[in-house]
């Protein structure tokens, strides 16, 4: 959150907390900003630097804890086979279907190599129909 208590449209992740030790920026769209702002109103944060999400032990989330959180969240929602990783695949595939270039997708996913990103993109019949319709 910024100094005015508003959810930022960008979240900077330090290299120390990312999987491949590369700092990156997570971009937050307006819809998510509004949801997070609503959530923030319910929090009992003392300092602006306090963690936004906590574990049960009131510690900040690690990458592993966050993956487990999504696992249980999806399980309670009865979404079969869903995981934090499938969420990443859906994110990338949805943007690819909307015409976002693979280099932008790789940057958003934090992939150093676009071939990694390409493996995340699931192709379906609707995507193929839309591609053919462009001719």
Let me know if residue 71 belongs to a domain: no
Query: What is the tens place of the pLDDT at every residue in 19-77?
Result: 778 888 999 999 999 999 998 888 776 676 677 776 666 666 777 888 888 888 899 99
Nearest alpha carbon to residue 97 among 50, 58, 51, 133: 133
**pLDDT at residue number 67:** 84
Range of the domain at 116: 83-135
Is residue 113 predicted with pLDDT exceeding 70? yes
Is residue 118 predicted with pLDDT exceeding 90? yes
The rounded distance, in Å, linking the Cα atoms of 41 and 131 is: 43
The rounded distance, in Å, linking the Cα atoms of 112 and 119 is: 13
Q: What pTM was estimated for this model as a whole?
A: 0.75
**pLDDT at residue number 48:** 65
Let me know if residue 67 belongs to a domain: no
Let me know if residue 14 belongs to a domain: yes
């Amino acid at each position: 959150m910024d100094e005015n208590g508003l959810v930022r449209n960008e979240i900077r992740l330090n290299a120390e907390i990312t999987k491949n030790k590369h700092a990156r920026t997570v971009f937050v769209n307006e819809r998510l900003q509004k949801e997070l702002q609503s959530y923030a109103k319910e929090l009992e944060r003392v300092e602006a630097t306090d963690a936004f999400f906590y574990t049960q032990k009131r510690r900040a989330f690690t990458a592993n804890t966050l993956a487990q959180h999504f696992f249980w969240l999806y399980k309670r929602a009865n979404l079969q086979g869903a995981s934090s990783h499938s969420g990443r695949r859906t994110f990338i595939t949805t943007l690819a279907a909307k015409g976002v270039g693979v280099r932008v997708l790789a940057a958003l996913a934090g992939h150093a190599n676009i071939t990694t990103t390409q493996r995340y993109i699931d192709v379906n019949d609707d995507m193929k129909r839309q591609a053919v319709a462009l001719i």
